[in-house]
Each structure stands twice: as structure tokens, then as C-alpha cells.
Structure 1
Amino acid sequence: MASLYLLIPVALIFCIIAVRLLLWAINSGQYEDLDKEAWRVLMDEDAKPGKQDADSDQQDRHPNP
């Protein structure tokens, strides 16, 4: 019974901390646009023309054995 006098306030403190962290995350924009990053992985970006030419030069200089 004596341990409940310690455990109940500790549990309440943990709950208050968890609620404050949740509210901070919501107010700071942590949950804004959750799908953007997931879709970015699936988007195929076109290669830039200048970069593609540089890659072909590298392949000509170092052929695979």
C-alpha cells in the first residue's frame, strides 16, 4: 500500500509529460503533411542533362574490368 503513494504520482507525472510532448509535436507542425515523404520515395525524377553527361565521362575513363 505504501508503494502506491509513490507510484500514483509518478504515473501522473509521466502522463502529464506525455500529453505535453504530444501537444508540442502537434503545435510545432510535426504532423503536417505526413504523406509527402512517403510519396517522394515513389516519384521518379528525370536526370538532369548536365549530370548525365558527366556520368558518361566517368564511365569512359574507368571501364569495368
Structure 2
Amino acid sequence: LMLDAGEFVTQLKAKVDDDGELDGYMQIDPPLQGALYRFGLAEDGASIIVLGEGAVKYTFVVAE
């Protein structure tokens, strides 16, 4: 999976949890090597990307 963030393009690899379930996608290349991305839906049904985990999470939504 490739992520094109405008300023950079990077490869994302699937990350699975201990049960073999998809946990998200890990960035392979710099500048955010090791960052975890999760794709999902907001409460209103809009597509979102959550970057990071734990105390530091950034949620991105589609701009209109």
C-alpha cells in the first residue's frame, strides 16, 4: 500500500495484532518511519485516517 501525502510518498505495510487481526498500517520509509495509520469511519460515516497511538493521535478527515 502506498501513501501519497503530497510532500512525500511512502510504503505502508499491514500490522497485525497477537490474534492475527489487522491492527493498522506501519509506515516503512522516513520521515515518519514506524508511524501507525488506521483507516476507519467517523460517527457521521465520513472516512478518517488516525495517525499515531497512545497519548499522541491525530485524526484526519476529508476536507470539503
Output the TM-score relative to the length of structure 2.
0.17
More helix by share: 1
Output the TM-score relative to the length of structure 1.
0.17
**Max Rg structure:** 1
